[in-house]
A and B are shown apart, each in its own frame.
Chain A
Amino acid sequence: MKILAKWLALAILLCTTPAKAALDIVITEGVDAARPIAVMPFVWQGPGAAPQAIADVVMSDLIRSGTFKPLDELGLPQRNIGALAQFQANAWTSVGAEALVLGTVKPYGPDQYLVNFDLIDLVKAQNQALKGAVSPTEFLMDSRQTVISAAQFRQYGHRISDIVYEKLTGIRGAFLTRISYVVVNHTQKAPYQLMVADYDGVNEQMLLRSPEPLMSPTWSPDGRRLAYVSFENKKAEIFVQDLYTQVRTKVSSFPGINGAPAFSPDGKSLAVTLSKDGQPEIYVIDIATKAIKRITNHYAIDTEPSWYPDGKSLIFTSERGGRPQIYRVELNSGKVNRETFEGEWNLGGSIAPDGRSMIFVNRTNGKFNIARMDLNTRFMQVLTSTRLDESPSVAPNGTMVIYGTTHQGKQVLAAVSTDGRFKARLPVGQGEVKSPSWSPFL
């Protein structure tokens, strides 16, 4: 039954994900625990065939969130309805789902479409139907009307998903976000490519291609720029690239390591690792003035700086205790505290957007997996069971972590929910995929 459910989920995805998607998600765990929801294909009210299926985007978003599992539309009691007015609560009393999404799309002008959607609280509707007093406005959770162009169908689908997700969970949806990552294809002359795609892998765009390694892409807080490391001049250098204008700025090119950039929450500085003074140490660079400030000073390796959301502290990986562990440094006082103690190694940490937990790579019994630690209780949970996990990056709403792992001898991206229940893999056809970074809300 469990296997059947997984295959069903996979089948739904295969049907709904457009063929042009570069990254097709494979859910490996967590479908059973998801909450059932009904998503009705949006009714097309124009001539000929509908331009694009918005409901499919919503459906795959909800599956990928790990929180919801859409019911098979063939089993729904009403078909081909697009608005609350057509909804008959009495027909839905035996449907085991908490909500219903339905809507319509109709031509509105040249390259313009009017999209309506309604979100119905099925539990409330069922209760009212059983009592015999139905007042539809009471179970309408949300209702919106928007005009979009043909190119905006996917984007608006993600927007609907955001609304549905937030109404039902209380958490802001992260469906209108992007990811960046590095693709390496050793059969090509310039094997290293820096890519950006929608969070679901669709609309993949190449930002930079190089014969030498590209590393550590990371987003500016406004989602407009990426910082990354390039070896194009046969040494590590840090660049900041504007996604829209394609303008590249070299921010750091000191002797030795220039690595692990992380934008400050105000977007004005980069925390980086430099080895210009001997060992790798943490510095903060002002992007505009290029002024640098040294933060750590220790003969052991210090690297992988990541900001606290308040911008007043950094966490970083240090070997000062003999093995890599995560430490916190207060920028004003320079005071350093060790944060992790469990397991052999802990490294590559970042603080979740709510500031309450930390996500990092844990090594236990020689195995590298993604882990989460509650910063109050200090309880650590290993989230993944994949191989050689690295580079975790948390979604801006804190619900999901995207990371690099190894599957069947190849580097691929994978995702895990921050509660560890939902697990998915994002395989690609060619080359190795690594160093994912999730954008802020866009």
Chain B
Amino acid sequence: MDLNKLLKAMLVALPIMAISACSSTSESETDAMGSTNGSGSELNGGIQTGGVGGMLSAEEQQRQQLDDLRKQQIIYFDFDRSEVQTEFAAILEAHGTYLVEHPSVRVLIEGHADERGTPEYNIALGERRAKAVAKYLQGMGVQPSQMSVVSYGEEKPLDFSRTDEGFGKNRRAVLVY
């Protein structure tokens, strides 16, 4: 029971941590004179250094945001659905931009399903999800030759709890470079 509660707490806490982590890195990176490593504003013995901002152009800032978004590689889906939800548009935008600018880079899109239904049906569903992502990226100008698709259906779940929350985590497409 306690483990269950902990899991639930983590489910709420993890995305929040992820969001705050993203925003803080991008801030620290802009603060640090355009250093892409973002190691400028560490705390040392309670002393915090400050910097002068504004060295990045608008385009560079946008690039930074896209690079950060591209670190998110998982798109989640609703039960038995394969449409890309609007909340994941920004992530796919970032991947699409990168792939258009780097035509030699290839990406593997994995499609996954939750454990409900049969394994064979879920393979079909996983492929449809992966293809929905591929189509979205193609709409942005990514070449079909840059993308390949594989469906693992319900064979590689991320979460083994078989709860509604667990099912939600398993219904996904993953972009693998």
Contact = CB atoms under 8 A, between A and B. Distances in A.
Interface of A: 186, 213, 215-216, 231, 234-236, 256-257, 259-260, 273, 275, 280, 301, 303-304, 317, 324, 345, 347-348, 361, 363, 368, 387-388, 390-391, 406, 409, 434-435
Contact of A434 (B119, B121, B127, B150): B119
A319 to B, nearest CB: 8
A25 to B, nearest CB: 23
A201 B117 CA distance: 25
Contacts of B152: 213, 231
Contact of B118 (A257, A347, A387): A347
A235 B149 CA distance: 9
A388 B122 CA distance: 13
B119 A391 contact: yes
Contact of B121 (A231, A235, A301): A301
Given A215-B155, A406-B162, A409-B161, A390 B124 contact: no
Contacts of B31: none
B60 interface: no
B120 interface: yes
A403 to B, nearest CB: 10
Contacts, number: 81
B118 A409 contact: no
Contact of A257 (B116, B124, B160): B124
Main secondary structure of the interface of B (DSSP, over half): mixed
Nearest to A184: B155
A339 to B, nearest CB: 16
B75 interface: no
18 contacts: A186-B160, A215-B155, A236-B150, A236-B151, A257-B151, A273-B120, A275-B124, A303-B120, A317-B121, A324-B121, A347-B117, A347-B121, A361-B118, A363-B117, A387-B162, A390-B119, A391-B119, A409-B162
Q: Give the top 4 A-B pairs by smallest Cβ distance, nearest first.
A: A213-B155, A348-B118, A260-B120, A301-B124
B91 interface: no
A8 B120 CA distance: 39
A231 B123 CA distance: 12
A244 B151 CA distance: 31
Interface of B: 115-121, 123-125, 127-128, 149-153, 155-156, 160-162
Nearest to B157: A186
Nearest to B79: A366
Given A257-B124, A260-B120, A388 B150 contact: no
B160 A409 contact: yes
Contacts of B149: 256
A236 B117 contact: no
Contact of A213 (B117, B118, B156, B160): B156
B162 A388 contact: yes
Contacts of B117: 324, 345, 347, 361, 363, 368, 390
Contacts of B128: 301
B90 to A, nearest CB: 29
A241 B123 CA distance: 22
B120 A259 contact: yes
B119 A257 contact: no
Nearest to B152: A213
Nearest to B120: A260
Contacts of B155: 213, 215, 231
Contacts of B161: 409
A387 B162 CA distance: 10
A216 B162 contact: no
A388 B124 contact: no
A409 B115 CA distance: 12
A194 to B, nearest CB: 13
Nearest to A301: B124
Contacts of A231: 152, 155
Contacts of A235: 150
A215 B118 CA distance: 11
A358 B161 CA distance: 32
B123 A303 contact: yes
Nearest to A305: B120
Nearest to B126: A257
B127 A280 contact: yes
Nearest to B123: A259
Nearest to B122: A390
B138 to A, nearest CB: 14
A345 B153 CA distance: 18
Contacts of A301: 121, 124-125, 128
Nearest to B130: A256
Contacts of A317: 118, 120-121
Nearest to A406: B162
A390 B150 CA distance: 22
A289 to B, nearest CB: 25
A303 B124 contact: yes
Given A213-B152, A213-B156, A215-B155, A280 B124 contact: yes
Contacts of A368: 116-117
